[in-house]
Amino acid sequence: MKALFSSALIAAAFIGSAAHAEQALVAAQSAVNFEARQMGVPIKGHFKKFDAKINFDTAKPEASKIHFTVDTGSATMGAKETDAELPKADWFNVAKFPQATFDSSAVKPLGGGKYQVDGTLTIKGNAQKVSLPVQLAQSGATTTATGTLPLKRLAFKIGDGDWADTSMVADEVTVQFKLALTGVGKL
């Protein structure tokens, strides 16, 4: 009986992993953008490299798990001078912290394809609990997750040193994401 129970647990873990492996991010149809203000003027940028490991259970969203990574060295604002500054220690400190991560702790369905996703966002070794609204929509085999996350850059030590003065670069940053996923069941 013990062997049967152990085998059932291993099979369940394997099936869970297989279902997880089928869900994949379609990077070419996805985007992670950010917007801040420098001296009152909106400035925009995006990350070129990011990935997600998602196990979203449409029947039981509360059991879903999301692990999202962003390569901080892929940040670009479209200007050579600015892009050269972003990887440095005062900003993303890419040499020491090459990735920012988000790990979900709870997924709550709100109805109408809307969800509240709670978790921990870690940037430059600074972890903060965040709660973000996510809208899911499906078209054919693709599920698109969209949302906006306002955050305070100084809570993560982004723009440290001389850049900590918020009269130059505002503390408020808005991150917008659009993630195209395959392998998610029917909503």
- Report the CATH number that the domain containing residue 47 is assigned in CATH: 2.40.128.110
Q: Is residue 22 part of a domain?
A: yes
Q: Is residue 29 part of a domain?
A: yes
**pTM of the predicted model, to two decimals?**
0.85
Which tens digits make up the pLDDT trace of 93-149? 999 999 999 999 999 999 999 999 999 999 999 999 999 999 999 999 999 999 999
Q: Is residue 70 part of a domain?
A: yes
Domain with 49 in it = 2-182
Count up the domains in the chain and report the number.
1
| Spatial CA neighbour of 104 closest among 90, 89, 122 | 122
| Spatial CA neighbour of 49 closest among 6, 98, 110, 104 | 98
Residue 134 CB neighbours (<10 A): 19
Which tens digits make up the pLDDT trace of 14-55? 333 333 447 999 999 999 999 999 999 999 999 999 999 999
Q: Is residue 187 part of a domain?
A: no
Number of helices followed by number of strands (H, E) in the chain: 2, 11
